[in-house]
Chain A
Amino acid sequence: MAVKMDPIHQFELKPLVSFGHIGHQHIAFTQSALYMFLAVGLIALLTIWATKSRAVVPGRAQSLAEVFYEFIGQTVHQSAGHGSERFVPLVFSLFMFVLLLNLFGMIPYAFAVTSHIIVTFMLALVVILTVVIYGFMAHGTHFLGLFVPPGVPGWLKPLIVVIEVVSFISRPISLSVRLFANMLAGHIALKIFAGFVPALLAAGVWGILSPLPLALSVAVTALEMLVAVLQAYVFATLTSIYLSDALHPGH
């Protein structure tokens, strides 16, 4: 009995429809793209179709949509404060998109779109570009005051500004790597622990130890469920905090 133990294989993109190559780039509609559109469809189903009756006393699906909306509304309001209402659609879209893609990844044989750094990095880039563009549009050069915290002695200012700029630039990186690494590591751990079960079963007498990695993979699955939800929330919260800089650069 051959058991494939490669934990990386699951992250491979499988082209469903190939549009050929442009230079080195392979342009194809992959399972990753399919899951993205599936997520969009499901979110639209929940937030548009389930609320179309506009019931005063909501049903289950409408309740769920309202809970998500109010939850994100509160998170954005608490983190970004006054004037943050205009960013609720962005944070809501990001949260629901990341949440569903993370949860899709938990379905056996499904694909975790957020385990690809390019996806999470692009989402983080959307956040940072929103912060920068809105910041300059709303505050002009005053937005640069973000890098000069008030109450810093003059001789310390150059150093502080450098630190602030570096921390600002590292935000999209940390935002994207956090989500990507969590999903990647979780799925690799899950695959490895689950892989021990058939490997032990195939190794004759060692098969009696196979319930151990099985129990462990059950526990890791539960943990990964938590991580999937938590990382979506962390992404939404950090987005709100970064957007707060665009709204109130002077603090």
Chain B
Amino acid sequence: MAGAVVEYSRGRSTYASLRLSVLQFLADPQWLVPSMIAPVIFALVSFELFRGAGAYFLTYAILGAGMMSMWGQTLYGSGWATGQDREFGTLEPTVQSPTPYLYVILGRVLWNVVSGLFGGLIVYLVILGVAGGPPAVPDPLGFALLFVFVMVTLAAVGVIFAAFYVYTRYAGFIQNIGEFAFYIGTGCMFPVVLLPFYTNPISLFFPPTWGLDALRYLAIPGYQGFSWGFWGDLAGAIVTTAAYLGAAAALFRRVERHVLEEGSLAWY
């Protein structure tokens, strides 16, 4: 019966994980709702507070709230899915398969970022209904490309974050602490420069901080973000994202070693 051994494919494994995530989401799509509540509220409050700040403020609010939604979905989805792997007992057979768990996580994170787009879309529709349409983006193609890249920056954070869930069953509290700290720290809703100076370097550790600032430079004429401007933001986003993804493989190897030493894969 023993067949010829074939190698796993990183791309196929990532796609398989993404596909399974979609199927599981379709079986129970209610989890999209909690990740949208906070962004919609933040967006509406911001809009009411800064109603007179100009037409482009709408763009700012939509981008920020959309990003919050995407992050919420990434955070909940990626970490939660691994937590569920523990709960359902599927972490052991998945880790025991030839595919490194990193690629399983990657597939899930990609799906979660994409599903976060639905949340972003709903934020957009809510603000559209309340305040009317925002002004057109000056460079739609550049904006679209950068937007996709910002999704990659979010995925990079999600991958690293998911490692905590593999490492320990107690990662849930990190998720709860991290959610709002991240909203504030990355400047999703309020400019990072409003935060105390000492927090700024922490914000710069997150790839989406750079990516979102670059996106605003591109979408809002006259936007004043970080002093290094659009290209500096873009370079920072690329470097930090590459660093996160580069660290992910080594991190997952260490995490796997740790859980195999502890024998904690089946704990939930």
Is B one of A's binding partners? no
Chain A residues packing against B (C-beta within 8 Å): none
- Give residues in B with beta carbon < 8 Å to A: none
